[in-house]
Chains A and B, each alone.
Chain A
Amino acid sequence: AQKVTQAQTEISVVEKEDVTLDCVYETRDTTYYLFWYKQPPSGELVFLIRRNSFDEQNEISGRYSWNFQKSTSSFNFTITASQVVDSAVYFCALKPSGTYKYIFGTGTRLKVLA
């Protein structure tokens, strides 16, 4: 079965704290892609990152960083020094090989308090 699990339904942090959003996936494919999206209150989905299954390098983009570990089937997302504008729902998604279909996790609602 192909599945994405975001066990954290909601997280609240105080501004400037670091926060990690967990994503665990299941797939039998050897080739696949993983994504993170941000959905602010306005509703649009903002693409954050794509990672393919052959690239386990961690990535940093400003205050955002991603930790991809195939051994634990995890693709976690860390926001450093969180800001109120980071408040949103964050979705992790899996794209198996050979298909354009994407499997989304249930999302994690992040609230950053001033």
Chain B
Amino acid sequence: SAVISQKPSRDICQRGTSLTIQCQVDSQVTMMFWYRQQPGQSLTLIATANQGSEATYESGFVIDKFPISRPNLTFSTLTVSNMSPEDSSIYLCRTPGQGFPYEQYFGPGTRLTVT
């Protein structure tokens, strides 16, 4: 199974600022996924990040607001730009597991509060 870490685990940010969330995997993975979970809600996929190509964004999410980097096969970042209180959420990264391709492994999440 993959071990995934995220930084920061939580943060409180002011409106209008940006926060970059890091996701580190202990093995090389082709695809990484970023999710948002607003308070009391389910998980919503933001984008899929493949190494060496631009991220693919889901409907309702745009690169200017959520730029993603994927510099190598073990690391990705998600930036939440020009934050507003509506961006207060848990942000999680996910990767398919090794060995059995349909396992899901989530990072521990980043709990973001925007004031």
Contacts of A42-83 to chain B: CB distance below 8 A: 42-45, 47, 50, 52
Chain-A contact segment, one of B41-49, B62-70, B75-83: B41-49
Complex contact A100–B31 (CB within 8 A) = yes
Question: Please, how many angstroms separate the alpha-carbon atoms of A46 and B43 in the complex?
Answer: 14
Question: Please, how many angstroms separate the alpha-carbon atoms of A95 and B94 in the complex?
Answer: 14
Contacts of A85-108 to chain B: CB distance below 8 A: 91, 93, 95, 100-102, 104-107
Given known contacts A91-B42, A105-B42, A44 and B104 CB-to-CB distance under 8 angstroms: no
Number of A-B contacts (CB under 8 A): 42
Q: Choose among B31, B42, B111 the residue that contacts A104 (Cβ–Cβ < 8 A).
A: B42
**CB-CB nearest in chain A for B109:** A43
Complex contact A47–B103 (CB within 8 A) = yes
List, in ascending order, chain A residues with CB within 8 A of B106's CB: 37, 44-45, 47
Question: Please, how many angstroms separate the alpha-carbon atoms of A28 and B31 in the complex?
Answer: 25
Contacts of A12-61 to chain B: CB distance below 8 A: 33, 35, 37, 42-45, 47, 50, 52
Further contacts, 12 of them, CB under 8 A, given A37-B106, A43-B109, A47-B104: A35-B104, A42-B108, A43-B111, A45-B43, A50-B103, A52-B102, A93-B104, A95-B102, A100-B31, A100-B48, A104-B42, A104-B43
Give me the interface of A with B, judged by CB distance under 8 Å.
33, 35, 37, 42-45, 47, 50, 52, 91, 93, 95, 100-102, 104-107
Can you sample 14 A-B contacts with CB below 8 Å? A37-B104, A42-B108, A43-B90, A44-B106, A45-B92, A47-B106, A50-B102, A50-B103, A91-B43, A100-B31, A100-B33, A102-B45, A104-B42, A107-B42
Give me the interface of B with A, judged by CB distance under 8 Å.
31, 33, 41-43, 45, 48, 90, 92, 96, 102-109, 111
